[in-house]
Chain A
Amino acid sequence: MQRRKFIKFLLGAASLALLPVRAFAAIWNTPAFQATQVDVALAGLGVGSLKPSSLITVVAPDKAENGAVVQIEVTSNIPNTESIAILVDKNPTSLIAHFKFSHGADSFVITRIKMAETSDVQAIVTADNQYFVAKKRVEVLENGCG
């Protein structure tokens, strides 16, 4: 019995040591990120019916010289915003990023994305189990996905 306990303890210690980085609670959402269509990506994120919202601001250039680097700023003024997802309709894989906010982080993010061609950029906000969307069209003069 004691030996069994000791072996269990060893196994437990080994598996703890093997865990990669404890900072990452979630698992990467493969179905959503590999989806080639917006609908499939949204289904992968578990997003239900979308309502357009003027409380979401998407700041992006009207024209992007270089699709490899397009700066996008998203702000959600919807109360209880839990997450913001950024999608590009016409990219080979639509879902770009999904940000979850907690413990005092504002529902706001700026990042730089790749765009294959002229397309709508969608920001999708989850708040209180409801889903909201705002779009911004970005004209891409030189594609960034090669």
Chain B
Amino acid sequence: MADNMRMRAQLKGDVTEVKVLMTHSMETGRRKNDFGDLISAHFIQMVTATLNGRIVLEAQWGTGISKNPYLTFHVRGAKVGDVIKITWLDNLGKTGEGEVAVTQA
């Protein structure tokens, strides 16, 4: 599902800036469709980021994260070529993942 996620990891000094854009509807369960029926909740609940397989960031999300979630975070100690991987799990048990190699900014 790598096409489901856009990622960039750039080394700037000793900090690697990771930017992630995921594709997900992030339905709250409170919105109605054109016929007035509630659209059932469908949203990402957990996100894990790893650097070369080691967890650096663990997030839990509610329905308040915007559609097509965006995330930026900073990691120290990464080198060019190191791999940042993102995995998510939503409330329906679906998962998505993406990975990117660290590049020099």
Contacts and interface: CB of A to CB of B under 8 A. Distances in A.
A113 B64 contact: yes
B66 A28 contact: no
Interface string B33-62: 000000000000110111100111111111
Contact of B46 (A26, A109, A112, A113): A26
Per DSSP, chain B at the interface is strand
Given A21-B95, A145-B30, A104 B59 contact: no
A100 B58 contact: yes
A97 B55 contact: no
Interface stretch (A2-10, A46-54, A85-93, A133-141): A85-93
Interface string A88-128: 10011101111111111110111111110000000000000
Contacts of A97: 59-62, 64-65
A101 B56 contact: yes
Given A21-B87, A106-B76, A109-B73, A96 B62 contact: yes
Interface of B: 15, 28, 30-32, 45-46, 48-51, 54-67, 69-78, 87, 89, 91, 93, 95
Closest 7 pairs between A and B when the two form their complex, measured CB to CB: A96-B64, A110-B72, A106-B74, A33-B62, A105-B56, A112-B66, A104-B77
